[in-house]
Structure 1
Amino acid sequence: MLKLKNRVLIICFSLLTTFSYAQVNSIQNIQSRKILSLNGKWNYIVDPYENGFYDYRHDPFDQSKSGSGGFYDDKVQKNKTELIEYNFDLSPQMNVPGDWNSQSEKLELYEGTVWLRRKFNAQPEKGKKYLVYFSAVNYEAHVYLNGKKLGIHKGGFTPFQFDVTDKLKAGENSLVVKADNTRKPDEIPTVNTDWWNYGGITRDVFLAELPNHYIQDYKLQLIKGSNNTLKLDVKLEDATAGQEITLTIPELKLEKKFTTDSEGKISEQFQWNRLNFWSPENPKLYAVTIKSATETLQDKIGFRTIETKENNILLNGKSIFLRGISIHDENPLLAGRLRSEGDMRMMLQWAKDMNCNYVRLAHYPHNEEMVRLADEMGLLVWAEVPVYWTISWENPGTYANAKQQLTDLIVRDKNRASVIVWSIGNETPLSSPRLSFMSNLAETARGLDDTRLVAAALEVHREGKTIILNDPLGDKIDLVSFNEYAGWYWGGTPSEITSYNFDIKYNKPVVITEFGGDALGGFHADENTRWSEEYQEALYKNQIILLSKIDALRGMTPWILADFRSPRRQHPVYQNFWNRKGLISETGKKKKAFFVLQDYYKQMQAKYK
């Protein structure tokens, strides 16, 4: 037994010394750097047995003495006697960004390993640093450049990067990614979800050229509780003291200079009284420049305050009703993840057409471009991590994964005025380990950013005709935010749900994070016939009556804007692997319930002027 333990330790140490996990806290604002897009056509090899990763003894090639032997070597046959059982050049291609499930019919339901390879030319310069940056790969990515392993990243929706300065060649380079979307019980999310498990390189890939002492991270926002005190935090990639950093906002005639401390950081507050506050009605963004001795970064940043007071949510000091809708990162009209600005703008415009001022980006971090568009278009955002349903609450590795994904989300989007809520999870069942897990995530979110609200989509339970919310996690978060499906999963027909009442323990603003029911677009019947547009319409009308009983109701994000694909939804007529709770069908047609919510939000808009 001792020998076995020693062997395991040796293997783990070898693994750590051979490669590393992706750099913690990815670089801020990659779009403002000097970047080479690696998007486009990538060759791919489907590898369900992982022949390109393990030898016939199931030992990883990249942990062998030579470190070679896998598909990542990207070899081609040099003479007729050489045995090579793969060939990227002769393999099919897929679009990156893009998932494999929607690009190949035979991969529609595939979960496992796919190798992707892109060749590109580079001319690295001395005195520069180079990073390969992935905006997202689902789920576990092993990344190799020119046959050398850069490292591993876990998490399907957050960015990561690797320093390739000493591995990049002048001329042609081969970048290979082993992407594996296998669901596992100890991962985030876990094995059981209600959305399509799209695998692959689903978001942008860049090669970034950076100077020495480049700006790793920055944040410019109003401090908590103030409408005129700004705080600038800047961190250089290395601990370089005495570097001058200049902040400029030309429209405000603001220019300030700061000097980095011994850790290469700046953390300074200053007052400014002429701010035009960002809001959905006035999505004001300022052109901001942050300049060091070696680089100049451009951003568009809005300034606003968000807080709760008793039962109210205050945006810029004024009570607001969050007229929202939930959204998945999926285009119903074109299979797969949202790929382009046009896809994302369409989804957000549909929300605005419904008179929304707010969107819940569920159940995981959406594309950074989506959040930037929300900034521009004037939509408040609930941003979430995929701590979803039943997680391995007592596994330290699972918690570390969840914490890292939450950190990555906050680091990426902390300069976006639209983001007002960091959500730490959805519909997690009550238990002591779960409470500890979720409470620690809430504390992490506040430690990283105390200027926004922290929430989670909680569950309710029922006693007779009373809907009860007494989840102890409510003490740790800022909103009484919960899902309830009266009229669909329980509670009888739509007309019967108005007989229910609520018993809510906490004196906080109430935001209903989900309600709704399925309707097959174009199927019409009476209001008591499941799957019909009339049933969904009646359900929404009666949900509004039911929820209006809550005095502290300050917002909602019904489930969901548009129909989306889900392997859990198997009825051959009404579902056919689609969750039909959308207010817009997979053909882009607005269902009858869309107009019910649109009219209600028009009334609430007038009430909270």
Structure 2
Amino acid sequence: MDMRLVKALKRFCLITMCFFAAITGLKAQDFMVNIPNRSQISLNGKWECIIDPVDVGIKKWKSLYKDVPNNKDHRTEYAFISSNTLNVPGDFNSQRPELKFYESTVWYKKVINVKKKKGKRLFLYFDAVNYVSDVFLNSEKLGSHEGGFTPFQFEITNKVKDGENAIIIRVNNRRQKEGVPALGYDWVNYGGITRDVRLVETNETFIEDYFVQLKKGSGKRIEGYIQLNGSKLLQKISIKIPEAKINHTATTDHKGNAKISIDKKLELWSPSNPKLYRVIIQSETDSIEEHIGFRSISTNGTEIILNGQPIFLKGVNFHEEASERASRAYTKEDAKKHLNMAQELGCNFIRTAHYPQNEYVVRLAEEMGFMLWEEIPVFQGISFGNKKTVTLANKQLTEMLRRDKNRCAVIIWSVSNETYPNHTRTSVLKSLVDSCRVIDNTRLVSTALNKYEKKGNVFTIKDDLIEALDVIGMNQYLGWYNGWTVSPEDIVWKSEYNKPLIISEFGAEALYGHHGSNDDTSSWSEEFQETFYRKQITMQKNIPFLSGTCPWTLIDFRSPLRLHPIYQDYWNRKGLLSEQGYRKKAWYVMKAYYDTIK
């Protein structure tokens, strides 16, 4: 066995033991995969709410189930009222003006009607809630979850009753020093039940998880596993891909797990041919299907190799924000709009910064032929020396990989963005990289760095973390934050590593429709941003080990850190598009550049 993998396994086991020790007492369970194709009832819609600015309700949550006083000598101070509602999914910040930058607790309530079925199990499934959530059912606490961008679930089979059941959720989006992300990040901290909520029904023993992808380094061998959940764990299972004439059978072990290995020449997925196969997974007690693509991704020196051929990543970044309505994006239509914008720019690659975005984005990207970089929100200011923080980072990484490991569009897992080199940070991030490879060794692993050494006109990339990575990500803002100390055409980038480089961020701010100087940073003009992009492209063309580039960002987004009252007004204006989707001059520069790359 590869010694690097052996070391990775040891580190992963240690992290996992620490992780499970840390979450003792919490009841959020490992969620089932492929949630869109499960039997379910949507719990989206209007939920009653209580705004709790000082978070006093957490001490008296049981009273939230008592909307009516017991007698004339009692009163209720915390009452849900049917006329006081918030939309789910949706952030609470954009639904009421007074909550624009609110960071504290909101309580949600929904009454559901349930008719229990013999031999069936029920799960309460959340696609995402930001940031801490405590979930209650009929005066009983089900458990908690921390992290704003990954799913979680609770089994409620033996907790619901026939008829009406009351679900109450405490959601708190207050930034935490020990959190992931921590206190300082450059996007609006949209709080609430921001993605879909579902009541999922399964058989008593069901297919909980599976991994069906090409083996690393192979163009025709499918490897992976199937995992059952329930009382009947010893079963015969099958994987069928009718179009490819595959009907593979196996038997699970006493833990409900079956390894799979299938040799078959397949039509491979690529941006120019986003081929997806209908895959049917069956056990004796369950059946589930979805569409899965197969492709190989690797590196060869400084090149990124897709299906055996070098490819240049023509990318862009965007946030999970519906900028035109200044809210969290949460619908399939929102995802489609962003991806259409990227397609119009000429992209084949998207960095979904700085957190796992809605599953709609990932699945639609796969259908449309976009390669993806997915990232956990280990952002500036993270407390790498804090055990809770490290545990949370590992948990969020595990949840991201669990949800999207069957999505062939994802070619890069990223463990962080713009962290500052020191021994503790590097050790933690190397452990996260190890975790990636233990869970899924079929993809590349990277991170977005932002430090380099400058000597004259030579910029040298150095970071102890790079040794553990497959691809180098570099955020650089020469010409904006740092100025052009050297003419772009004279800049020489060097790397001590024989690895591909992606310029994972670069950009400058401009207010759409505002015109002025093309060489004055303080002009905030489209002309300055346009000239900035021309200079960046000139510089980037001279980097021999460059394999991809990602402008920051596709579209202007809201940020409480951007305070200029005229040009920003709580918006980060680095978008190639305005918040209403209008094209700035720089958009055309980037479009022309991408059109030259085949």
Name the stretch that deviates more: 384-393 or 461-470: 461-470
Match of 2:174 among 182, 205, 215: 182
Note the 1:88-107 alignment, pairs <5 A. 88-90=80-82, 92-107=84-99
Contact 2:488 2:538 in 1 (8 A): no
Q: Check if 1:533 corresponds to 2:526.
A: yes
Match of 1:52 in 2: 57
Q: Whole-Å Cα distance in 2 between the matches of residues 397 and 240 of structure 1?
A: 36
Once residues 285 and 102 of structure 1 are traced to their aligned partners in structure 2, the CA distance between those partners, rounded to angstroms, is 37
Mapped partners of 1:99, 1:434: distance in 2: 32
Q: Report if aligned partners of 2:205, 2:233 keep a CA contact under 8 Å in 1.
A: no
Deviation string, structure 1 residues 48-83 (Cα, Å, up to 9, x no partner): 1222112xxxxxx46xxxxx34x2x25333544431
Q: CA separation in 1, counterparts of 2:217 and 2:581?
A: 42
Conservation of the 8 A alpha-carbon contact between 1:467 and 1:502: yes
Query: Contact between 1:358 and 1:381, CA under 8 Å: does it hold in 2?
Result: yes
Report the Cα offset of residue 241 of structure 1: 4.1
2:590 pairs, out of 562, 583, 597, with: 597
Residue equivalent to 2:14: none
Picking from 241, 244, 256, the partner of 2:248 is 256
Map of 1:244 onto structure 2 = 236
Residues 337 and 197 of structure 1: is their aligned pair in 2 closer, same or farther, counting only changes over 3 Å?
same
> Which of 447, 452, 468 is the matching residue for 1:476?
468
Q: Is the 8 A contact 1:215 1:234 kept in 2?
A: yes
- C-alpha distance in 1 between matches for 2:26 and 2:546: 47
1:77-476 superposed matches below 5 A = 77-90=69-82, 92-238=84-230, 240-273=232-265, 275-461=266-452, 462-476=454-468
Check conservation: 2:518, 2:527, Cα contact below 8 A.
yes
Separation in 1, partners of 2:341, 2:347: 9
Counterpart code for 1:165: T
Indicate yes or no: 2:26 matched with 1:20.
Answer: yes
* CA–CA distance in structure 2, aligned partners of residues 579 and 51 of structure 1: 34
Conserved? CA contact 2:188–2:560, under 8 Å: yes
Q: Deviations over 1:535-560 (max 9, x none)?
A: 11111111011111110111011100
SS of 2:208's equivalent in the other structure is: strand
Moved more, 499-508 or 469-478: 499-508
Residue equivalent to 1:65: none
Distance 1:585 1:568 in 2: 18
Task: Please tell me whether residue 43 in structure 1 is matched to residue 48 in structure 2.
Answer: yes
Please, which moves more after superposition, 411-420 or 284-293? 284-293
**Partner SS, residue 182 of structure 1:** coil
Q: Would the aligned equivalents of 1:239 and 1:264 in 2 still touch at CA under 8 Å?
A: no
AA partner of residue 441 (structure 1):
L
Deviation at 1:526, TM superposition (A): 2.7
CA distance in 1, matches of 2:527, 2:160: 60
Residue segments in structure 1 that go unaligned for 5+ positions in a row: 1-14, 55-60, 63-67
CA–CA separation in structure 2 for the residues paired with 1:156 and 1:190 = 12
1:30 correspondence with 2:35: yes
SS for the counterpart of 1:438 is helix
Confirm or deny: 8 A CA contact 1:561 1:584 kept in the other structure.
yes
Whether the aligned pair in 2 keeps the contact of 1:459 and 1:469 (CA below 8 Å) is: no
Offset at residue 497 of structure 1 (A): 3.6
**Partner Cα distance (1:306, 1:205) in 2:** 34
Secondary structure of 1:43's match? Answer: strand
* AA aligned opposite 1:473: L
Specify the alignment match of 1:8 in structure 2.
none
Give 1:463 deviation, angstroms.
3.2
Residue 510, structure 1, aligned to residue 516, structure 2: no
Residue deviations 1:15-39 (CA, integer Å, cap 9, x gap): 999x52311x311011211111100
Q: Give the secondary structure class of the aligned counterpart of 1:156.
A: coil
Tell me the SS of whatever aligns to 1:20: coil
CA shift, 1:511, in A, is 0.6
Distance 2:312 2:23 in 1: 50
- Maintained 8 Å contact 1:481/1:513: yes
2:321 match: secondary structure: coil
Matched position secondary structure for 1:486: coil
Distance in 2, Cα, partners of 1:584 & 1:397 = 38
- d(CA) in 2 for partners of 1:567 and 1:252? 51
How many residues get paired?
A: 574
In the aligned structure 2, how far is the partner of 1:467 from the partner of 1:140? 41
TM value normalised by structure 2: 0.94
**154 and 16 in structure 1: CA distance in 2 versus 1, 3 angstrom threshold:** closer
**Greater mean deviation of Cα atoms: 242-251 or 342-351:** 242-251
Query: In structure 2, how many angstroms separate the alpha carbons of the residues matched to 1:80 and 1:105?
Result: 36
State the AA in 2 paired with 1:542.
K
- In 2, the alpha carbon distance for the partners of 1:497 and 1:22 equals 51
Letter in 1 for 2:307: N
Instruction: Describe the shift of the 1:16–1:138 C-alpha distance in structure 2 as closer, same or farther (beyond 3 A).
Output: closer
CA deviations 1:362-398 (Å, max 9, x no partner) are: 0000001110000111100000000001211111111
Look up the equivalent residue of 2:215 and give its one-letter code. Answer: I
Q: Distance in 1 between matches of 2:481 and 2:488?
A: 11
Distance 1:553 1:527 in 2: 27
Two-structure CA RMSD over aligned residues (Å): 1.6
CA distance in 1, matches of 2:541, 2:94: 41
- Aligned to 1:604, the other structure's residue is in SS state coil
Distance in 1, Cα, partners of 2:204 & 2:230:
9
Amino acid at match of 1:21: K
Aligned-partner Cα distance in 2 for 1:33–1:372: 15
Matched-pair contact (CA < 8 Å) for 1:240–1:263: no
Moved more, 292-301 or 382-391: 292-301
Give the secondary-structure state (helix, strand or coil) at the position aligned to 1:21. Answer: coil
* Pairwise CA distance, 1:335: 1.7
Structure 2: where are the runs of 5+ without partners?
1-21
Question: CA-to-partner distance for each residue in 1:330-384, whole Å, 9 max, x for gaps?
Answer: 1111221112111110100100101100000000000011100001111000000
What is the distance in 1 between the residues matched to 2:493 and 2:140? 59
* Native 8 Å contact 2:107 2:170 kept in 1: yes
Q: Any idea what the Cα deviations from partners look like across 1:307-331, whole Å, max 9, x if unmatched?
A: 0011110100000000000111011
TM-score (norm 1): 0.92
Q: Which SS does the other structure have where 1:53 is aligned?
A: helix
Deviation at 1:406, TM superposition (A): 0.3
